[in-house]
Amino acid sequence: MENPNSLVLWEAQFGDFSNGAQVIFDQFLSSGESKWLRQTGLVVCLPHGYDGQGPEHSSARLERFLQMSDDNPYVIPEMDPTLRKQIQQCNWQVVNVTTPANYFHVLRRQIHRDFRKPLIVMSPKNLLRHKDCKSNLSEFDDLAGHPGFDKQGTRFKRLIKDQNNHKDLEEGINRLVLCSGKVYYELDEERRKSERTDVAICRVEQLCPFPYDLIQRELKRYPNAEIVWCQEEPMNMGAYSYINPRLLTAMKVLGRGGIEDIKYVGRAPSAATATGFYSVHVQEQTELVQKALQRDPLNYPF
């Protein structure tokens, strides 16, 4: 807050360790601009992702940061081409990036603007060494000759669409799985194993402010698809309670049904963020990934 023109990053060794800084988030970061008209561009990097390391090393309490967001879940804001207005009207940004290029661009966007907003980054540790978590050089610099030139675009992607080169209208897709974070890679691997060509998986990289325009683009792309929100966290944690009303708002405008048409796949409600037994973790993770891609229709809510 002392120098808003610097790119300052604060990182917790594990996301759970941010608990001790909660009073700072409450008093200064989430409400500072509202109370004192004081802008800050602080970036908070919180390792988050379920790797079987137990309840103290799994969750950065994503739900707490989303709950403190002041965007209205029942009103779609003005989505101008620059998205400047939507971000300026929100108290901060919460992202869960899954590619090196998107991480680079969200940091570049943070300092390149002429205004400041705090940025909360959920950063899964196992993606640092995941074989599929990589970006073409063209996604950083758009240099001719690099793989993906003229295809990827050098910008931050608030939502990453399905990677199977689907057309603008895909009536043969039966299920649209929306997710955020590292669970995407597990879902994609299971989809390849089970040879499910009728399932689309989209990554919501920016959770707050909610990307209504891109969500609606994908809903139009898959008009016959069952809509699923998949997460690793228990139902009372993670992004589910934040996503649910906003996804419903986006669906209603397009006539895509009501609350019962949003199916949930993830862990059941829990007091602890995660199990302390690695074998139980593996079983839970396997079950939720398989359930998201099961061939039978899902029940509401899960």
As a whole number of angstroms, the distance between CA 270 and CA 262 comes to 21
| pLDDT of 300 | 80
As a whole number of angstroms, the distance between CA 195 and CA 176 comes to 15
Structural domain includes residue 302:
no
Structural domain includes residue 173:
yes
In DSSP notation, 217-231 reads HHHHH-TTPEEEEEE
Domain range for residue 273? Answer: 9-293
Tell whether pTM > 0.85: yes
Structural domain includes residue 166:
yes
Q: What is the DSSP letter of 28?
A: I
Structural domain includes residue 65:
yes
In DSSP notation, 56-71 reads TSS---HHHHHHT---
Angle at the Cα of 188 (from 292 to 259), degrees rounded to 5? 35
pLDDT in tens, 46-64: 999 999 999 888 999 999 9
Q: Which of 168, 300, 163 is nearest to 228 (CA)?
A: 300
Number of domains in the chain: 1
Structural domain includes residue 155:
yes
Structural domain includes residue 2:
no
Polymer length in residues for the chain: 302
Q: What is the pLDDT along the chain (302 residues), one digit of tens a residue?
A: 788 788 999 988 877 788 888 899 999 999 999 999 999 999 999 999 999 999 888 999 999 999 999 999 999 998 888 788 889 999 999 999 999 999 999 999 998 888 999 999 998 888 888 999 998 887 887 666 666 555 556 789 999 999 998 999 999 999 999 999 999 999 999 999 999 999 999 999 999 999 999 999 999 999 999 999 999 999 999 999 999 999 999 999 999 989 999 999 999 999 999 999 999 999 999 999 999 999 999 988 76
Structural domain includes residue 1:
no
pLDDT in tens, 200-211: 999 999 999 999
Structural domain includes residue 301:
no
Q: What CATH code is carried by the domain that includes residue 20?
A: 3.40.50.11610
